[in-house]
């Protein structure tokens, strides 16, 4: 029985390391201020926690007015007008900041086609640079200001 507990602890540590690596791969670092849009009960709470652990501060909500280093933006099909929402997410973003649009993966409720993000980004003044899976349910698309390519 002791072996199973040791294995469970090892797996938990490996899962935690993987999650923190995801937060690091998103480019977050200690001291960054990150604003979050589109929070709901379906977000990836482990990823949120790992971002907060890595940056050393809580995620700022939509009502905060501080200049931020990055935005995480949870977006699902049916959430409204993507262009307007992307433009709103830029309000407090620093000139060199990035927006990570987090959308449900294909086959998950609320799935958003990558083409929809690619179409909306230029109108919002953004350029899509990369996409990646960040958890079992969510994909991330990195968007930057057109002048920060």
Q: What pLDDT score does 148 carry?
A: 62
* Beta-sheet strand order (sheet of 138-145): 34-37, 68-74, 93-104, 138-145, 126-133
Question: What pLDDT is stored for residue 21 in this prediction?
Answer: 80
- What tens digit of pLDDT does each residue of 55-74 get? 999 999 999 999 999 999 99
pLDDT of residue 117: 96
Pairing assessment for the beta strands 138-145 and 126-133 based on DSSP bridges: antiparallel
Per-residue pLDDT of the chain (149 residues), as tens digits, is 444 444 334 334 444 444 558 899 899 999 999 999 999 999 999 999 999 999 999 999 999 999 999 999 999 999 999 999 999 999 999 999 999 999 999 999 999 999 999 999 999 999 999 998 899 999 999 999 976 65
Full-model pTM: 0.84
Do 52 and 90 touch, CB atoms closer than 8 A?
Answer: no
At 5 the pLDDT is: 44
Q: What architecture does CATH give domain 2-148?
A: 3-Layer(aba) Sandwich (3.40)
What is the model's pLDDT at position 132? 87
DSSP the chain: -HHHHHHHHHHHHHHHHHHHHHHHHTT--TT--EEEES--TTS-HHHHHHHHHHHTSPPB-TT--S-EEEEEEE--TTSS-HHHHHHHHTTTEEEEEEEEEEEEPTTSTT---HHHHHHHHHHTTEEEEEEEE-SSSEEEEEEEEGGG-
Q: Give me the residue spans of the domains in the chain.
A: 2-148
């Amino acid at each position: 029985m002791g072996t199973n507990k040791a294995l469970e602890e090892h797996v938990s540590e490996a899962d935690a390391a993987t999650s923190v690596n995801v937060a690091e791969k998103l480019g977050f670092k200690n001291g960054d201020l990150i604003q979050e849009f589109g929070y709901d009960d379906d977000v990836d709470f482990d990823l949120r926690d790992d971002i907060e652990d890595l940056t050393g501060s809580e995620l700022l909500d939509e009502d905060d007015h501080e200049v931020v280093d990055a935005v995480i933006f949870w977006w699902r099909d049916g959430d409204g007008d993507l262009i307007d929402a992307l433009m709103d997410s830029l309000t407090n973003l620093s000139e060199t900041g990035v927006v990570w649009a987090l959308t449900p993966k294909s086959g998950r409720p609320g799935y958003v086609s990558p083409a929809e993000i690619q179409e909306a980004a230029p109108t919002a003044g953004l350029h899509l640079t990369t996409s990646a899976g960040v958890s079992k349910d969510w994909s991330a698309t990195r968007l930057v200001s057109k002048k920060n390519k």
